Amino acid sequence: MRSTVVLAALVAVNAFAEDSVFPSKQELQMARMLEPQTVSAEARTFLKSKMKAHSKDMRDLVLAVATLKYDEAKKFAQGISNAPRLDKAAGATVALPDSFFILQDGLKKHAGEVVAACEAKKPAELNQAFTSMMGTCMSCHNAFLVPMRGEKPAAPAK
């Protein structure tokens, strides 16, 4: 009886360990707080330019994951994971809210999980990692891309 209780306690602790499949407190907070974010015109321009290359890698990754082409999926996920990231501490000229940097870090983490799942060639793990990654993408798009789409471009000067 005592060994069963100890085993159950160890399983419970392990389930909530840092490498848990459950979302972290930070991820849960992000899921609740991501309303559309307003950013400066400079930030919008910067984000649009940064996302052009990113979107091609994502389109290619979606197809590679869907067709279980592990080597291709790994290559595109590595490209996303290794893409230059914005460093808030570097004093970038483009001011972005903290939520952007949290999502940026989450994307890197989840892209790394996609790489690991591709190396293991396990479809269930790839599905889970890719689903987590897409959740981060959708949260960021909801917060930053959707509001940009709703803005009307300035009328051209005559």
Q: What is the pTM of this model?
A: 0.68
How far apart (Å, rounded) are the C-alpha atoms in residues 123 and 1?
Answer: 38
Binned at pLDDT 50, 70 and 90, residue 147 comes out as low
> Which of 137, 133, 128, 111 minimizes the C-alpha distance to 21?
128
According to the model, what pLDDT value does residue 124 have? Answer: 95
Q: What is the pLDDT of residues 82-121, one digit of tens each?
A: 988 777 765 555 677 788 888 889 999 999 999 999 999 9
Q: Which residue range is the domain that position 131 belongs to?
A: 38-149
More confident residue, 66 or 18: 66
Residue 100 exposed, middle or buried by CB count within 10 Å (0-12, 13-18, 19+): buried
How far apart (Å, rounded) are the C-alpha atoms in residues 137 and 54?
Answer: 11
| Whether pLDDT at 39 is above 80 | no
- Please calculate the CA angle 54-57-58 and round it to the nearest 5 degrees: 85
Tell whether 130 is covered by a domain: yes
Return the amino acid letter for 125. E
| Whether pLDDT at 47 is above 80 | no
Q: What is the pLDDT of residues 52-92, one digit of tens each?
A: 778 888 999 999 999 999 999 999 999 999 988 777 765 55
Tell whether 31 is covered by a domain: no
CATH number, position 133: 1.20.120.10
Tell whether 14 is covered by a domain: no
Tell whether 158 is covered by a domain: no
How many distinct structural domains can be found in the chain? 1
Q: Which two tokens stand for residue 52?
A: 């052009």
According to the model, what pLDDT value does residue 140 have? Answer: 84
Binned at pLDDT 50, 70 and 90, residue 150 comes out as low
Tell whether 6 is covered by a domain: no
How far apart (Å, rounded) are the C-alpha atoms in residues 59 and 57?
Answer: 6
